[in-house]
Structure formats: C-alpha cells, structure tokens
C-alpha cells in the first residue's frame, strides 16, 4: 500500500537567510582564528615535561647544556 500524500509539507520554497549565515560564519571564523593564535602563542604549549617523561640520554644532555631548562 502506497500513500500518495506526504506527512511533511513541501519544502521546496525554503529560503536561507544568507545574511545571517554569512555574519555567523565570519564571527565563528574570527573567534577560531583568534583562539588559534592565542593557543599557539601561549606558554601552555611550552610547558616543561616532567623528569619521568624525559629519556635518560636527553636528561644527560640537558644537565650538561648551558641552556637553562
């Protein structure tokens, strides 16, 4: 048995609000761009690893280096 009437209305007349889509897209792009720059420049990415996570040969090199870790 096939029903000829659909449960849903015809949506072919659906129209996007392109101004709102464009504005929302630009705002999201700016927010993500600024967050990306802040994350890249933050000191959180430059945290010193714990001593347990440092391989022994690298720990030896770091202890002999003139650079202060």
> 4-29 pLDDT, tens per residue?
676 777 666 667 789 999 999 999 99
Which pLDDT tens digit goes with each residue over 55-64? 666 766 667 6
Higher pLDDT, 23 or 42: 23
What tokens appear for 5 in the block?
Answer: 């009437």
pLDDT at position 22: 95
Domain chopping of the chain, boundaries: 18-64
Exposure letters 29-41 (e unless 16+ CB within 10 A, then b): eeeeeeeeeeeee
Q: What is the separation, in whole angstroms, between the first and last Cα of the chain? A: 76
Q: What is the pLDDT confidence band of residue 47, given thresholds at 50, 70 and 90? A: low
Whole-prediction pTM value?
0.45
């Amino acid at each position: 048995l096939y029903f000829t009437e659909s449960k849903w209305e015809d949506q072919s007349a659906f129209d996007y609000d392109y101004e709102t889509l464009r504005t929302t897209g630009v705002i999201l792009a700016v927010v993500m761009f600024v967050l990306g720059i802040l994350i890249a420049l933050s000191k959180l990415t430059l945290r010193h690893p714990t001593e347990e996570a440092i391989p022994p040969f690298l720990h030896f090199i770091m202890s002999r280096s003139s650079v202060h870790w």
